[in-house]
Amino acid sequence: MKTIEQIAAELQGYDPSALPAHQVNAFLARLVQPVTQTESVGVFAALGRVLASDVVSPISVPPHDNSAMDGFAFDSAALQPGQPLRLRVVGTAYAGAAWRGQVAAGECLKIMTGAILPAQLDTVVPLEFVKTDGETIELPAGVVQPGDNRRLRGEDLMAGEPALRRGQRLGPAALGLVASLGLAEVTVFRRIRVAYFSTGDEILSLGEAPREGAVFDSNRYTVYGLLTRLGIEVLDMGVVKDEPAALEAAFRLAADTADAIITSGGVSMGEADHTKTMMKQLGDVAFWRIAMRPGRPMAVGRIGNAPATAGSAGALLFGLPGNPVAVMVTFLAFVRPALLRLMGSTDAEPVLLQAHSSEPLRKKPGRTEYQRGIVSRDASGQLRVRTTGNQGSGVLSSMVQANGLIVLHHGQGNVAVGDAVDVMVFDSVI
């Protein structure tokens, strides 16, 4: 396993005092080693879990050619260009059982949605397109083409082919797909455990009496929510005072019981506290000033001995800034993708959408900015985005108002009204 120094040597132009945002994720991609332990879980317990092996379809879906409509099934060879078609109805086919009769030339079969199409029939005309006269129907010219409204056997999945791939995180649609194959269980990577705590003598826990110069901790609750959305097992270690003994005990406990550790506060370059000292003492850690706003200070590395099941030389460490918005931004931009990789996911990078800015945005090239934004559609259906206003890193209410982050990239300059910008949307993320 590579050390922090070895990983840094692989990144061209690596500068921990002015690290571009894209290099952070490149670094973390090399640092994070996915878990390897697996388990089988039932479909209801699989939501959000990551597949440890391909799910191979044991059956074809659908298993037979069937009707996509309530209508009349017939052999399209009877169709004549520009001519109506009269057919005699000889029976009715229902979903759930094969119709056993025969359909001769000039005949058709009334059929319900999902019912099996007899072998000689290849087209279905919807009920509303025909005229009925007793046992006879008439199709006007041109209402259907050969093969219309027929679902082919295996058009969704063929038996023996992968239905879902290893490394895929299972969402609601995937659960339905697994169940549609008749599978009661799937093999997934084990759930990872993340320990987190806030640091600082000025941080109050809920229930403590207010005092001058102190603030109530919000970071633990936002981090808890972010981790819970990922389906991670969380270990809340509360607020740890800026005292060497307390910090050492917290780091050692976290490293002994978790795959990753997240802290907030105590990682700024000029801070004269004990958090950074303890990180250095107990692990292989890099301290960065990232060329970004908000959230410049960040620490990453490994600390102590991770659990025997973790398969690594230590628990991953993410030391985040102390300001509430900076905590959330650095988590979404860097920590979340890294944790997804640790979980075994092959689709870890956030998806960026493009929207047109509704206001001018000031931006200096040379850093990545994440501005809180509100995305909406205009009258023409185009995505528009505007900021929430005050972009201070302590304005947590702006994250409540926002439904995405406007991502202004490292080399990007000022944005004019109407310019396209990238947006990281929050839906299903936070």
CATH number at residue 365: 2.40.340.10
What is the 3-state composition of the chain as percent helix, strand, coil, each rounded to the nearest 5?
20, 30, 45
Assess if residue 323 is contained within a domain: yes
Assess if residue 20 is contained within a domain: yes
* Alpha-carbon span 410 to 363, nearest angstrom: 10
| Structure confidence at residue 283 (pLDDT) | 94
* 327 and 198 housed in the same domain: yes
Assess if residue 398 is contained within a domain: yes
| Structure confidence at residue 269 (pLDDT) | 60
Assess if residue 306 is contained within a domain: yes
| Structure confidence at residue 232 (pLDDT) | 95
| Structure confidence at residue 309 (pLDDT) | 43
Q: Report the run of H or E that residue 357 belongs to, with start and end.
A: strand 352-357
What 3-state DSSP class applies to 221? helix
* 194 and 134 housed in the same domain: no
**pLDDT per position in the chain (430 positions), as tens?**
889 999 999 999 999 999 999 999 999 999 999 999 999 999 999 999 999 999 999 999 999 999 999 999 999 999 999 999 999 999 999 999 999 999 999 999 999 999 999 999 999 999 999 999 999 999 999 999 999 999 999 999 999 999 999 999 999 999 999 999 999 999 999 999 999 999 987 888 888 889 988 888 899 999 999 999 999 999 999 999 888 999 999 999 999 999 999 999 888 765 556 888 999 999 999 999 999 999 999 999 999 865 444 445 689 999 999 899 999 999 999 999 999 999 999 988 888 999 999 999 999 999 999 999 999 999 999 999 999 998 888 889 999 999 999 999 999 999 999 999 999 999 755 5
* 170 and 141 housed in the same domain: no
* Alpha-carbon span 300 to 286, nearest angstrom: 5
* 98 and 242 housed in the same domain: no
Give every CB contact of residue 240 below 8 A, 6+ residues apart in sequence: 197, 198, 199, 246, 247, 250
Tell me the HSE value of 148 on the side-chain side, using a 13 A CA sphere.
Answer: 18
Structure tokens at 231: 């389906």
| Structure confidence at residue 213 (pLDDT) | 83
How many domains does the chain divide into? 4
Domain's final residue, options 342, 374, 392: 342
* 118 and 73 housed in the same domain: yes
CATH number at residue 52: 3.90.105.10
Assess if residue 96 is contained within a domain: yes
Assess if residue 27 is contained within a domain: yes
| Structure confidence at residue 312 (pLDDT) | 52
* 161 and 230 housed in the same domain: no
* 265 and 314 housed in the same domain: yes
Residues 27, 11: contact at Cβ < 8 Å?
Answer: yes
* Alpha-carbon span 170 to 179, nearest angstrom: 12
* 337 and 194 housed in the same domain: yes
85-122 as b/e: b if 16+ CB within 10 A: bebebbeebeeeeebeeebeeebbbbbeebbbbbeebb
Going by C-alpha positions, the residue among 357, 353, 363, 351 that lies closest to residue 410 is: 363
CATH number at residue 289: 3.40.980.10
| Structure confidence at residue 310 (pLDDT) | 42
Residues spanned by the domain of 402: 352-425
| Structure confidence at residue 370 (pLDDT) | 97
CATH number at residue 113: 2.170.190.11
Assess if residue 430 is contained within a domain: no
* Alpha-carbon span 108 to 137, nearest angstrom: 9
Domain's final residue, options 295, 314, 342: 342
* 162 and 138 housed in the same domain: no
| Structure confidence at residue 429 (pLDDT) | 56
* 338 and 195 housed in the same domain: yes
| Structure confidence at residue 361 (pLDDT) | 97
Domain's final residue, options 151, 180, 198: 151
Determine phi and psi for 312, rounding to 5 degrees.
-140, 170
Q: Which residue has the tokens 């890193």?
A: 393
∠ CA(294), CA(229), CA(322), 5° rounding?
30
* 212 and 334 housed in the same domain: yes
Assess if residue 347 is contained within a domain: no
Length of the chain: 430
* 45 and 183 housed in the same domain: yes
